[in-house]
A and B are shown apart, each in its own frame.
Chain A
Amino acid sequence: MSSLSLGFVSVRLLQVVPSVLGIAVLNFALLHLAPGDAAEIIGAQSGGASKEFVDELRRSFGIDRPLYQQFFIYLGKLLTFDLGMSNVQQRPVLDLIADRMPATLLLMLTAIGIAIVVGVLCGVVAAMRHRKWVDTIVSVLALLCYATPQFWLGLMLIVLFSVTLGVLPSGGMMTIGAQMEPLARALDIGRHLVLPALTLGLFYAAVYARLMRASMLEVYSSDFITTARAKGLSEGRISLTHAARNALMPVVTLGGVQIGHMLGGSILVETVFGWPGLGRLLFDGLLQRDLNLLLGILFISSILVVLCNLLVDLVYGLLDPRILAR
């Protein structure tokens, strides 16, 4: 890596710090807007509890202290990367997140893979066959996938593939209790992954397809394509090597932005498919007002989003060297 790009990366990395801190402050403030707390909920879920019991819990969680104290304690711990204990589950937040992270990463990366491959291919093909029947089909399908609610699509896929055809499991991440060799286990997880990844991925595939198509059409009308055509290059070569590379820029931008969005979408998909990921941990945490857990997940996921955007910036540089030179 040249010294130029090293400088580029370090500047970007430095910019990450204030973003993450800002997000941490915002998270803390937002979560305190919701009424009720974990102590009350633990009391209620036990079928009722005395005030003394609930107060004792509050004391033990430290949520009986003034808000500013709680905030500084939280910030102090954050600086040493200590996310604290989950109030409800009484385990270190970092452990809980580490338990769930692989499942979510697997689901998201597969979904992103599906989205990019399917989306970009469809977009390119549609643009190359602009206003032909292929273009119409791609556009209609993309619109359908975009408009279908994910939980509904998930349920329909389950009904079709699990209940009617009986070829794929309806939920979970692996066959429970089965002793398997690593390879068989991987295949087993793969079988469980198909439906949730499709459900999550198709929505984004639709977005990318439409974006890629529009972007390609725009690039087609630029001067350098006209030049390429004038030089007698084949239409396929023009599309794939010249147009597609330039048309990818907005798709990459959107990809970075949508990582956070996808974390949100994974809550629904993980719920429908019983996928043991971070989205559901977040959702359960919200319902139980598990403050430390929520702050931890939001903190980690914001770092994830910021890092993905950093990655996007770097990919820009690869796609368009002029950005690095600036």
Chain B
Amino acid sequence: MGMSRLPAILAATPLALALCGAAALAQSCPKTGGTLTYVYSLEPTSLSTIATSAVPVALISTKIYESLLTYEGPALTPKPGLAESWTISDDRKTYTFKLRPGVTWHDGKPFTAQDVKFSVEDIIRPYHSRGKVYFGDVEAVETPDDLTVVFRLKAPVPFFMNVFQPGEAPIMPKHAFDGIDVKAVAAVRAAPIMQNPVGTGPFRFKEWRKGSHITLERNPGYWRKGFPCLDQVVQRIMPDGAARAIAIETGEVDLAPMSSLPEAEVQRLEKIPTLEASQAGAEALGPNLWLEVNMREKPLADLKVRQALSLALDRERIVDVIWYGQGKPARGPVVSTNAAFNAALKPYEYNPRKANQLLDEAGYRRGADGIRFKITQHFLPYGENWARLGEYVRQELGKVGIAVETQSADLGGWLKAVYTDWSFNLTSTFSHNYSDPSIGVERTFHSDFIRKGATFTNSMGYRNPRVDQLFGLAAREIDPAARQKQFDEMQQILHDELPVIFLMEMSYTHVWNRKVKGLITNGISMYSSWDGVSKD
């Protein structure tokens, strides 16, 4: 079998260093020691993304656990992690990883290929929320020796090199599951390691004061000599947005990651010279905001009506007024920071007059009271902005004769209405593209994902055989140019057919104290290990 060797050693050469930006590749810490305290609103419910990959869990667990690779740059260029080097067969069906020797778990036991095989087959694939997307096509994981892992795939998986992220494919110690029935979800979720993590990462678990904070401390045995730079990483839990803003303003915390501050506060804090706000470093998440349309019933089943909805909403205003400028108008299902984005897509127009015209053409004329028809809307219960967006939608659609009744619910009620009962007309929501449309976009628009009770899937009931076919082809296509063509066509169709009203590419804003250095290294910067992050 012909092998195309990608020598990972390249990463350490001066050329690669110059090309890739020095942050992640620095050979030594600019400064060693200190504590980085970051703040988030919610308390993690577990310290492993196997139980849930919700933001607070992903933030903290990615400092403790590692995966086979690390990544550089917004487009996630693979670099060595627990694997020192790798080879990929020409048919893209065999991936061989050579593991780094001498790595130990935080409890001192050696890390081996068995841990990788166990983690992928018994833990990640069955229990991680995206495990089946990543490893569903893995036929076998072989371990010819303690430092070699071979993945044999049934068919090529074009995004396979993207999945070895610490939050998405965390390698866990096999010995921690001794005596636990890994076939039972309850047993796995209740395993002691979910609360007392044992990883290989630069930081190890020290203390969890429930409701207050979690402390991680330096792993003195970390394989990357001279790292991590920090002594401690602390996650503080502060449920109130204004209080979080005050804490970063007074210097009590160093970082508010992943849009954890209210947008209005960010505008204020940006102006403080000791603080920095940035939207870089989350490109491989790509959150995209839209209105999900239940297409099972008229009038929303009618394309002209959906086009009218799209024309009646001013995306610039949504970005500038409701989200305080933190985002940009969406042009389709893939965000513009994603490599697969189709740049030929036209921006959506704001034109209420044309919206009225289309609604007339569709046969929904205004009644004596000026109303064409009535619909209900839900909104994602994630805070004030979403409620304001609901107000705005109601107001603007009202202007073109669509009476909108808003129904509010908390997360539990909203999920049930939208994904379990399909008892909604219109709802705001957002979805992550992740690093590849096959991971993050397919699940909303492929008709296979019209499934009651599956959250964040095709709630619209949208079916287009061509779109299904394109997703199917792209999931197997190994020629990047051909794959891009498939994605381009898929995006054009969805752009035109509007199964959802695409509104805004969201952005994750991180605010930090300038004393903190080296935070933004790749498209998953907050979900990376922070081994090279330092603090003056």
Does chain A bind chain B? yes
Is A227's beta carbon under 8 Å from chain B? Answer: no
Question: Per-residue CB proximity of A280-293 to B under 8 Å, as 1/0?
Answer: 11011011110000
Residue of B nearest to A100 (CB): B211
B413 contacts which chain A residues (CB < 8 A)? 34-36
Known: A34-B413, A163-B246. A48 touches B232 (CB 8 A): no
B186 contacts which chain A residues (CB < 8 A)? 60-61
Known: A53-B129, A177-B234. A47 touches B432 (CB 8 A): yes
Is A253's beta carbon under 8 Å from chain B? Answer: no
Q: Is the CB of A172 within 8 A of B236?
A: yes
Is A205's beta carbon under 8 Å from chain B? Answer: no
Q: Tell me the residues in window 283-328 of chain B with beta carbons closer than 8 Å to chain A beta carbons.
A: none
Interface locus among B37-45, B108-116, B151-159, B503-511: B37-45
CB distance from B459 to the nearest CB of A (A): 11
Known: A36-B415, A287-B410. A45 touches B52 (CB 8 A): yes
Q: Is the CB of B236 within 8 A of A48?
A: no
Question: Per-residue CB proximity of B412-432 to A under 8 Å, as 1/0?
Answer: 111111011000000000011
Q: Is the CB of A48 within 8 A of B454?
A: yes
Known: A47-B432, A271-B239. A60 touches B184 (CB 8 A): yes
Q: Tell me the residues in window 35-62 of chain A with beta carbons closer than 8 Å to chain B beta carbons.
A: 35-37, 40-51, 53-57, 60-61
Is A111's beta carbon under 8 Å from chain B? Answer: no
Q: Tell me the residues in window 415-465 of chain B with beta carbons closer than 8 Å to chain A beta carbons.
A: 415-417, 419-420, 431-432, 443, 451-457
Interface locus among A12-20, A73-81, A86-94: A86-94
B247 contacts which chain A residues (CB < 8 A)? 170-171
Question: Per-residue CB proximity of B176-188 to A under 8 Å, as 1/0?
Answer: 0000000011100
- In the bound complex, what is the Cα–Cα distance between A299 and B10 (angstroms)? 61
**Which of B184, B240, B413 has the largest number of chain A CB atoms within 10 A?**
B240
A61 contacts which chain B residues (CB < 8 A)? 186
Is A169's beta carbon under 8 Å from chain B? Answer: yes
Is B54's beta carbon under 8 Å from chain A? Answer: yes
Interface locus among A154-162, A210-218, A239-247, A302-310: A154-162
Known: A46-B129, A272-B240, A274-B239. A36 touches B412 (CB 8 A): yes
Is B53's beta carbon under 8 Å from chain A? Answer: yes
**Which of B43, B238, B443 has the largest number of chain A CB atoms within 10 A?**
B238
Is B130's beta carbon under 8 Å from chain A? Answer: yes
Is B252's beta carbon under 8 Å from chain A? Answer: yes
Q: Is the CB of B451 within 8 A of A50?
A: yes
Q: Is the CB of B211 within 8 A of A277?
A: yes
Q: Is the CB of A41 within 8 A of B412?
A: yes
Is B51's beta carbon under 8 Å from chain A? Answer: yes
Is B473's beta carbon under 8 Å from chain A? Answer: no
Question: Per-residue CB proximity of B24-56 to A under 8 Å, as 1/0?
Answer: 000000000001010000110110010111100
CB distance from A266 to the nearest CB of B (A): 12
Is B249's beta carbon under 8 Å from chain A? Answer: yes
Is A320's beta carbon under 8 Å from chain B? Answer: no
Q: Is the CB of B45 within 8 A of A288?
A: yes
Residue of A nearest to B213 (CB): A176
CB distance from B34 to the nearest CB of A (A): 11
- Count of B interface residues, CB-CB < 8 Å: 63
Q: Is the CB of B51 within 8 A of A90?
A: yes
Is B195's beta carbon under 8 Å from chain A? Answer: yes
Residue of A nearest to B37 (CB): A176
Is A197's beta carbon under 8 Å from chain B? Answer: no
CB distance from A278 to the nearest CB of B (A): 9
Q: How many A-B residue pairs have CB under 8 A?
A: 181
B454 contacts which chain A residues (CB < 8 A)? 43, 48-51, 54
Is A300's beta carbon under 8 Å from chain B? Answer: no
B456 contacts which chain A residues (CB < 8 A)? 44, 47-49
A170 contacts which chain B residues (CB < 8 A)? 243, 246-247, 250, 252
B417 contacts which chain A residues (CB < 8 A)? 35
CB distance from A175 to the nearest CB of B (A): 10
Q: Which of A40, A60, A273, A280 interacts with B412 by CB under 8 Å?
A: A40
A276 contacts which chain B residues (CB < 8 A)? 209-212, 237
Q: Is the CB of B210 within 8 A of A96?
A: yes
B409 contacts which chain A residues (CB < 8 A)? 35
Question: Per-residue CB proximity of B227-244 to A under 8 Å, as 1/0?
Answer: 000001010111110110
Q: Is the CB of B237 within 8 A of A274?
A: yes
- Count of A interface residues, CB-CB < 8 Å: 63
Is A85's beta carbon under 8 Å from chain B? Answer: yes
Is B189's beta carbon under 8 Å from chain A? Answer: yes
Is A295's beta carbon under 8 Å from chain B? Answer: no
CB distance from A99 to the nearest CB of B (A): 4
Question: Per-residue CB proximity of A247-291 to B under 8 Å, as 1/0?
Answer: 000000000000000000000001111111100110110111100
Q: Is the CB of B232 within 8 A of A177?
A: yes
Q: Tell me the residues in window 242-264 of chain B with beta carbons closer than 8 Å to chain A beta carbons.
A: 242-243, 246-247, 249-250, 252
- In the bound complex, what is the Cα–Cα distance between A159 and B243 (angstroms)? 9
Is A198's beta carbon under 8 Å from chain B? Answer: no
CB distance from A38 to the nearest CB of B (A): 8
Known: A171-B238, A171-B243. A41 touches B185 (CB 8 A): no
Known: A281-B211, A284-B43, A287-B411. A47 touches B129 (CB 8 A): yes
Q: Is the CB of B455 within 8 A of A40?
A: yes
Is A166's beta carbon under 8 Å from chain B? Answer: yes
Q: Which of B52, B213, B234, B431 interacts with A46 by CB under 8 Å?
A: B52
Q: Tell me the residues in window 79-119 of chain A with beta carbons closer than 8 Å to chain B beta carbons.
A: 85, 88-91, 96, 99-100, 103
- In the bound complex, what is the Cα–Cα distance between A320 and B242 (angstroms)? 48
Is A173's beta carbon under 8 Å from chain B? Answer: yes
Q: Is the CB of A45 within 8 A of B54?
A: yes
Is B482's beta carbon under 8 Å from chain A? Answer: no
Q: Is the CB of B211 within 8 A of A176?
A: no
Known: A40-B420, A274-B237. A51 touches B242 (CB 8 A): no
Q: Which of A43, A91, A158, A162 interacts with B129 by CB under 8 Å?
A: A43
A287 contacts which chain B residues (CB < 8 A)? 410-412
Question: Per-residue CB proximity of A152-191 to B under 8 Å, as 1/0?
Answer: 0001001100110010011111101100000000000000
B452 contacts which chain A residues (CB < 8 A)? 51
- In the bound complex, what is the Cα–Cα distance between A190 and B417 (angstroms)? 46
- In the bound complex, what is the Cα–Cα distance between A65 and B51 (angstroms)? 22
Q: Which of A91, A176, A271, A286 interacts with B234 by CB under 8 Å?
A: A176
Q: Tell me the residues in window 180-219 of chain B with beta carbons closer than 8 Å to chain A beta carbons.
A: 184-186, 189-190, 194-195, 209-213, 215
Q: Is the CB of A173 within 8 A of B412?
A: no
- In the bound complex, what is the Cα–Cα distance between A35 and B240 (angstroms)? 25
Question: Per-residue CB proximity of B353-384 to A under 8 Å, as 1/0?
Answer: 00000000000000000000000000000000
A173 contacts which chain B residues (CB < 8 A)? 212
Q: Is the CB of B185 within 8 A of A60?
A: yes
B515 contacts which chain A residues (CB < 8 A)? none
A46 contacts which chain B residues (CB < 8 A)? 49, 52-54, 128-130
Is B132's beta carbon under 8 Å from chain A? Answer: yes
Q: Residues of B at under 8 Å CB distance from A? A: 35, 37, 42-43, 45-46, 49, 51-54, 128-130, 132, 184-186, 189-190, 194-195, 209-213, 215, 232, 234, 236-240, 242-243, 246-247, 249-250, 252, 409-417, 419-420, 431-432, 443, 451-457
Q: Residues of A at under 8 Å CB distance from B? A: 34-37, 40-51, 53-57, 60-61, 85, 88-91, 96, 99-100, 103, 151, 155, 158-159, 162-163, 166, 169-174, 176-177, 270-277, 280-281, 283-284, 286-289
State the 5 A-B residue pairs at the shortest beta-carbon distance, nearest first. Answer: A36-B412, A276-B211, A48-B456, A46-B129, A60-B186
- Known A-B contacts: A35-B413, A283-B239, A284-B42. Give 8 more (CB < 8 A): A37-B412, A42-B45, A48-B455, A50-B132, A60-B185, A90-B194, A170-B252, A177-B232
For this complex, 6 residue pairs linking A to B, each with C-beta atoms less than 8 Å apart, are A34-B412, A41-B412, A90-B189, A162-B250, A171-B238, A272-B242
